[in-house]
Structure 1
């Protein structure tokens, strides 16, 4: 375990680094915007009026707190530990993404921005950004890979219905990495009036910490709910992980609870050994992408390798720098699940619990099955059900050969 000068929950340091990860690696033209954003966020997070407005909209617009749910039939089927879902898929727009989008758009208003841009993979971040932008009357442009547009048609229509302009990105593999590249290019050319709402705990400082802070409502609620419902903390907190915002939101309030194992589940795609996956920690090396240093899928020359996952939301060749830090420090464990396992859990959860999960948390559920057996009947597992599967039903039907 690497040395740490302060508690895990107190990172990043003043330079925006989590140990050797994070930081700010951006074009000179963006630095004034980044520094202005950092200053505005530092002021906002200690302002009672900002917090009160955020809490009010989280309650009345998003629907927080989200419930804690005992998955009784899956617990019985897996034959081990009790399984509890933090049901963030019941949020307005159907995922955890709106927690962060609400915070960032409120900050954008505070800063006087008149134009909102975002990137999206599975479309949930794009939908959430478009939703909040619509609520506050701000024009919104969402960059989305052409590949993801094809496999996430319901979310594309939702964004357009909400008034957003969806810009197809055809470069690279037409997925999340490429969409983020285009959003950053847009921001460079519109620095005066535009606020870039990044959807995960990546990007240049202060984004990784800021997105984590907005998403930490998940873990704060879940921690209090578990103590209230069963009188103890879970033995493990589990979440799927692409860039890592839902996982970091769940993990952060538990970082100093050493009895709670923190387990992130990456997308193994067609298998780690095939090279067709999106498991940056299990199959990558440290490098720099999208303004921060973290683990990346890259070749021997440092060129980014295309990621693959059945889930558009996990199809990213990097991971948030705080996850990289927790991985190296040994505080969190990072495992993976394949496309096939995710499809199996997608169907099983629907049939046993009456909950159709997004493909993203279906990955986490595959490892919850193993963990439940490992911990045994006295164990307790908390899993973040971070998104619902409405967006994935057509893609899953295609994979299963079911005509609609």
Structure 2
């Protein structure tokens, strides 16, 4: 039985902590299961079975091909997380989408066309770059950058967008809709729509429209219509709300191209599958450069698409530490942050169960970050699952620390990172100082920082022009 909302319940249903969703009460009774599983991991020294078809395979460094954990299950669950919490009107389209994706993965011509576009259009594979001067400045472990900023359109988003846009065309959908925060997903979607001759509408929170004016103009140049969302906090969460409403109304002709590894099943799985190329390339490249796998992976986490793409192919490699970096904003204690893993509670938002920022009475709290792409009050369900399983670690970096990371990478390496990526850079710098030079850290550099120059200038009190 699939997770369903009550008849007439909005697509963006939010079910706060302590109140199980209809059809999902068993998951709430099993809330302590991840803790028990984590204890079992410690006793066995490895991850064993965690339910039907689920588990973490153990692999020593350098052994064989990466093992693909069998997640999510048939209902889209990652343990107690994930699922498909939507009204009846969206159940059939989501099932249709799941079947279409399953068929496309087995279709050789589809996969060949996608691989060709990733190579010849997006510019894959992206380099693994040793940031020698940054590493020297830190004085410890070597820092390597997985250069997703060099992808066409300037960020990792194009990996997912090309795959989903091709799927939309395969499903005979003539219109794409998308949400965007920092604008990179919107630009990538508008780019794919132009490439494939599809109509494109992009929903963007009004606050993000103001701070990402360059990307707004880029989307419009590409032929997309940018719809400013004035409701709620006027940021990414509200853009997703409006995109879901649009999809409910126009589901026969419209494809919702969700940009992060969240939302109702099958989106978290699809986005992960399409971004896994990041981690797959990183495995090959580190073996070529280091003759082994890296010691640590570090990536920024908002919804978590870039991070899950880097992390997923390494999940079975227990000697590789996996660290997600959340937006600490003005500090966790201030309440003005976007660190759902550090300060959130379990609930349901935008069709899936995960960790969410919530008020004491269970209402969704407003996320804050200097980075428009990280100010989402939740996180992808697969991240939540592996955090509870003890496989992923999560830390937070403040706005001020992210700015320091931005400046350091720009001045020492001539690489200007997106403010999202700057969070990961800042934490890698901190971590490197505590490790010997023999250790290697790979940072997922999710995007470039051209779009953020005016935000950085304002934060530093500098005038442009």
The TM tier, using the shorter chain, reads over 0.9
Do the aligned partners of 1:144 and 1:179 also contact (CA within 8 Å) in 2? Answer: yes
Equivalent residue, structure 2, for 1:317: 377
Alignment match of 2:408 (pick from 326, 342, 348):
348
Tell me by how many angstroms 1:300 deviates.
2.1
Distance 1:355 1:33 in 2: 42
Distance 1:7 1:218 in 2: 22
Distance 1:271 1:389 in 2: 23
Residue pairs, 1:122-133, within 5 angstroms: 122-133=182-193
Equivalent residue, structure 1, for 2:156: 96
The alignment status of 1:7 with 2:55, answered yes or no, reads yes
Equivalent residue, structure 1, for 2:27: none
Deviations 1:40-73 (Å, cap 9, x if unpaired)?
Answer: 0011111111110110000011000001100000
The alignment status of 1:143 with 2:191, answered yes or no, reads no
Do the aligned partners of 1:7 and 1:256 also contact (CA within 8 Å) in 2? Answer: no
Task: Say which SS state the counterpart of residue 204 (structure 1) adopts.
Answer: coil
Deviations 1:182-238 (Å, cap 9, x if unpaired)?
Answer: 000000000100000000000000000100000000000011000011201000011
Equivalent residue, structure 2, for 1:220: 280
Residue pairs, 1:251-330, within 5 angstroms: 251-330=311-390
Tell me by how many angstroms 1:7 deviates.
3.1
Tell me by how many angstroms 1:375 deviates.
2.1
Equivalent residue, structure 1, for 2:165: 105
Task: Say which SS state the counterpart of residue 200 (structure 1) adopts.
Answer: coil
| Number of residue pairs aligned between Structure 1 and Structure 2 | 404
Equivalent residue, structure 1, for 2:25: none
Residue pairs, 1:3-402, within 5 angstroms: 3=37, 4-5=50-51, 6-8=54-56, 9-402=69-462
Distance 2:143 2:452 in 1: 23
Unpaired segments ≥5 residues, structure 2: 1-34, 38-49, 57-68
Distance 1:51 1:229 in 2: 28
Distance 2:271 2:36 in 1: 25
Larger Rg: 1 or 2? 2
Tell me by how many angstroms 1:120 deviates.
0.2
Distance 2:125 2:424 in 1: 22
Deviations 1:320-364 (Å, cap 9, x if unpaired)?
Answer: 000000110000000010000001111111000000000001001
Task: Say which SS state the counterpart of residue 66 (structure 1) adopts.
Answer: coil
Instruction: Give the 4+ runs in structure 1 shifted more than 4 A.
Output: none
Do the aligned partners of 1:2 and 1:329 also contact (CA within 8 Å) in 2? Answer: no
Tell me by how many angstroms 1:374 deviates.
2.1
Tell me by how many angstroms 1:402 deviates.
1.0
Deviations 1:119-175 (Å, cap 9, x if unpaired)?
Answer: 000000000000001100101000000000000011000000000000000001110
Distance 2:360 2:351 in 1: 21
Structure 1 residues 372-381 or 262-271, which shifts more?
A: 372-381
Task: Say which SS state the counterpart of residue 295 (structure 1) adopts.
Answer: strand
Q: Which has the higher helix share?
A: 1
* Alignment CA distance shift 1:308-1:234 (3 Å): same
Q: Over the residues paired in the alignment, what is the CA RMSD in angstroms? A: 0.8
Task: Say which SS state the counterpart of residue 267 (structure 1) adopts.
Answer: strand
Distance 2:246 2:379 in 1: 22
Tell me by how many angstroms 1:2 deviates.
4.5
Task: Say which SS state the counterpart of residue 312 (structure 1) adopts.
Answer: coil
Deviations 1:245-274 (Å, cap 9, x if unpaired)?
Answer: 000000000000011000000000000000
Distance 2:394 2:352 in 1: 20
Distance 1:359 1:88 in 2: 14
Task: Say which SS state the counterpart of residue 365 (structure 2) adopts.
Answer: coil
Task: Say which SS state the counterpart of residue 314 (structure 1) adopts.
Answer: coil
Unpaired segments ≥5 residues, structure 1: none
Distance 2:115 2:252 in 1: 28
Deviations 1:358-381 (Å, cap 9, x if unpaired)?
Answer: 000100111101211222111100
Do the aligned partners of 1:143 and 1:168 also contact (CA within 8 Å) in 2? Answer: yes
Distance 1:10 1:79 in 2: 40
- Name the TM-score, length of structure 1 as normaliser: 0.99
